[in-house]
Amino acid sequence: MPKVSVIIPVYGAESFIERCARSLFEQTLEDMEFIFVDDCSPDRSVEILNKVVSEYPNRNVSVWKQSINCGVSAVRELALSKATGEYLGFCDSDDWVDPNMYKTLVETAEAQDADVVGCGFWEHSIAGITERTFLHRNDSREVILSPFFFGGIYGALWNKLIKKDFFDSASQDLWKGISMWEDSCMLIPLRLQSSKTVFLDDCLYHYNVNANSITTKFSMKKVNDAIVATRRLEHYFYTEGLLNDASALINYLKIASKEVLLRFPKKENVEMWKNVFPEAKRYIMHYHPWNFILKIRAMLVSFLPSIIGVQLLKLKKSTK
């Protein structure tokens, strides 16, 4: 049994896949399994990957291919069915890792008998390199259910190591079939059930802010998936008796899941904003990512007729 199985979705990553693969194959932890899944990538990603794989004959590498493009959740579901490691790791194909990342995470997990171990990361963007570490090292229920710590370093899957036996017994299906907030939908139930979660300050992962990645492009599918994720999490909290504790998070997600609609002033978008989670308008003034002006605009769009809401959004857009 390998010590760690690392799952890597591959799609549109020809500019990054070599760097990613080499950083994985050069890990100081020897006993590892690397599971790449080609999600019908339209470029040379797999060709480049196979060339790099040939240079590391001693590494345990498999490359699987989806029959059709299905998205990251389906890729992970396939890879998880193939994983045999004692621990699970996840890496995005446009990112890379420090040589000691998985050795450090495994040693921490074993020394502290932790179900989940997370590390800090370096964020690389055109603006420069930013260090990201955990504000709270104790992964309490208050942190897990706080809207201020949703996503980001706490909700990312790629900077976590998870004990596979624990994952198999505690994982829920909230993340399956969606392409937005799937990491958080996978991690929140795991973190709530973890007997011990350890967060390290060490920045061992390199996150590439890729302007062409799926997470940075608008699509109605992403909006719909975020709405589905919100509904699934709300139902999960209800069944677990956590709805009251998670109310602030759910109210936040009901706005966050559809707030991008207000950036595109079309009648159908305004009507969708008004009709999906209509109760969320009561929490607009508490939506912390927005300043006062954005909150007032959202309130007006929520209560005014749709045609006026569209004109209001267009007016705001034209004054930028």
Q: Is 199 helix (H, G, I), strand (E, B) or coil?
A: strand
Q: Per residue of the chain (320 residues), give pLDDT as tens.
A: 899 999 999 999 999 999 999 999 999 999 999 999 999 999 999 999 999 999 999 999 999 999 899 999 999 999 999 999 999 999 999 999 999 999 999 999 999 999 999 999 999 999 999 999 999 988 999 999 999 999 999 999 999 999 999 999 999 999 999 999 999 999 999 999 999 999 999 999 999 997 654 444 568 999 999 999 999 999 999 999 999 999 999 999 999 999 999 999 999 999 999 999 999 999 999 999 999 999 999 999 999 999 999 999 988 655 54
- Which of 256, 236, 255 lies closest to 246 in space, CA to CA? 236
Question: What's the rounded Cα separation, in Å, for the pair 265 and 304?
Answer: 14
113 vs 165: CA distance, rounded Å = 13
- Distances in Å between the Cα of 293 and the Cα atoms of 80, 91, 95, 280, 290 are 45, 38, 36, 18, 8
Kindly report the pTM of this predicted structure: 0.92
Tell me the β-bridge partners of 128: 125
The single-letter DSSP state of residue 99 is: T
| 18 alpha-carbon distance from chain centroid | 22
